[in-house]
A = this chain, B = another copy of it.
Amino acid sequence: MQSRPATARPGRPRSAAADAAILAATREALVELGWSKLTLGDVATRAGVAKTTLYRRWSGKNELVVDAVAELFDELRLPDRGSLAADIEGVVLQFAAILARPEARSGLMAVVAESTRDDALRERLRTSVVDRQKRLVVEGRVRAQCRGELPPESDAGEAARTVDLIFDMVAGAVVHRTLVSGHPADEEWVRGFTQVLLLGLTGAASGAPGE
């Protein structure tokens, strides 16, 4: 069971403070410089560490920025606002607030672009960012089923496909609105979006319609 000598390793342990400083410096550099002008040497200087220390922990710019941006999504929570519509609006507003921050705007789409040619990066992005968001969809569905707002799923495969569809619709719409159209996903927009999404779901996809 000692196949993880992570803590039982001899020698000087790695500084956890350095990790935090590097990730914070990365976000700071993303705000000031953006993705393309961000250099690892500059990040190391901002963090007060040597460039070699940075390279010992991250293999490159992509991996570093993924981790730096992923921390922004830690604050995502599923609020209990009493109804499915209100819950969706709440979590979407949180998501929009994160995407409104410049460090997320500059970094997130860049690593998504890079992940289209790097399977390892895609996996890292999936586990540390995407899956954490998707879990909120699953939780929200369960809660709505407990409330009786959604029927319990009959087919597991159909249910999984529905979760994927909802997730792509929610995250995709907010990202597109914020980063491509360039308009803020404010309360008015979120209200209209939730209305369309929820009306489309409660009548159609929840319970295996045409079968």
Contact = CB atoms under 8 A, between A and B. Distances in A.
Interface string A182-197: 1100000100110111
Nearest to A176: B172
A177 B112 CA distance: 12
A181 B168 contact: yes
A63 to B, nearest CB: 13
Interface stretch (A9-17, A43-51, A74-82, A199-207): A199-207
A130 B177 CA distance: 12
Interface of A: 34-36, 62, 102, 105-110, 112-114, 116-117, 122, 125-126, 130, 161-162, 164-165, 167-169, 171-177, 179-183, 189, 192-193, 195-201, 203-205, 208-211
Contact of A177 (B162, B172, B208): B172
B200 A196 contact: yes
B177 A192 contact: no
B181 A167 contact: yes
Residue of A130, A161, A203 ringed by the most chain B CB atoms within 10 A: A203
A184 B138 CA distance: 21
Contacts of A105: 116-117
Nearest to A162: B192
A183 B172 CA distance: 14
Contacts of A164: 177, 181, 183
B109 A116 contact: yes
